[in-house]
Amino acid sequence: MARVFAKLVSVDFPVYDSKHRSLKNALVRTMTGGSLSQDTSNHVIVQALREISFDFQSGARVGLIGHNGSGKTTLLRVLSGVYIPTRGELKVEGKIATMINLTLGMDFDLSGRENILIRGSIMGMSRQAIRNVTEDIIEFADLGDFIDLPMRTYSSGMSMRLAFALATCGNADIILMDEWMSAGDADFQSKAEKRLLTHLKKAEIVFIASHNTSLVTQQCNWIVRMTHGRIDKIEANIPRIVAKQEPVVNGKK
């Protein structure tokens, strides 16, 4: 059973050359969303996440809502393992798929087919598993003979279709999304959304960071509201609730 547990998780980013910058504190706060402090050596510290706590288990569809710089994407990167918490305890049980940067790990000097192999390996798929989904990816992305040409010859829409097909080809216990995904032109959008919904349905836990409150309300049964790196509130979205659990918010139920 999948689980994502965080207890008082904090992430700090030291800014060692801050004394040589002309940025004012208010501007830095606007840019990062975190708060500022200093360490024992008087270096500026951006507190990107501060004492984040929750406990989500199978069935949770979690929407992260907040202004730009509120910590949504930073939290997703912590859950994916890109950032290591400075303090606190984090436990993630289950296979993770990230849909934060779709072209991550892709080499535009290589062919689409070669990139399927590379991206599949990054996703933790075996060579046989990659081979099993390759034709489906090629057909869904509708690249034809371009699949064997370097990706630098692709249009932006072709690259996005391939990246989207790759991101949704495997199964994962936990899916992390930064904004609702869209890919390609209007004709591609409909089948892309159907594929995405099927992909998300297979996962045990889903996190979606978005500014679109309506979308989050439609897709999620838990809504996490964030401000300046903190969780303000975790709300059960009653019409969408499917998991019977009581999340922990900053150490308190």
Range with the lowest mean pLDDT among 47-56, 136-145, 232-241? 232-241
- Cβ 221 vs Cβ 243: under 8 Å: yes
Tokens of 243: 């998991």
Range with the lowest mean pLDDT among 39-43, 183-187, 238-242? 39-43
Share of the chain above pLDDT 70, in %: 81
pLDDT confidence tier of residue 186, bands split at 50, 70 and 90: confident
Share of the chain above pLDDT 90, in %: 58
Whether residue 204 has pLDDT greater than 80:
yes
Length of the chain equals 253
β-strands 96-99, 174-178: how paired?
parallel
Structural domains of the chain in order of their starting residue, each with its CATH number: 3-94+207-240 (3.40.50.300), 112-203 (no CATH)
**Residue 187, SS3?**
helix
Q: CA separation (Å) from 32 to 70, 90, 102, 118, 205?
A: 8, 22, 23, 32, 27
d(CA 55, CA 32): 26
* Residue in 161, 121, 167 with CA at minimum distance from that of residue 141: 161
- Cβ 13 vs Cβ 39: under 8 Å: no
Whether residue 105 has pLDDT greater than 80:
no
Q: What is the pLDDT of residues 42-51, one digit of tens each?
A: 567 888 999 9
| pLDDT, the chain, mean | 85
pLDDT confidence tier of residue 21, bands split at 50, 70 and 90: low
Query: Which residues, 6 or more positions from 237, have their beta carbon under 8 angstroms from its beta carbon?
Result: 63, 217, 220, 221, 222, 223
Whether residue 121 has pLDDT greater than 60:
yes
Sheet holding 87-93, edge to edge: 35-38, 44-57, 3-15, 87-93
Tokens of 147: 């699949």
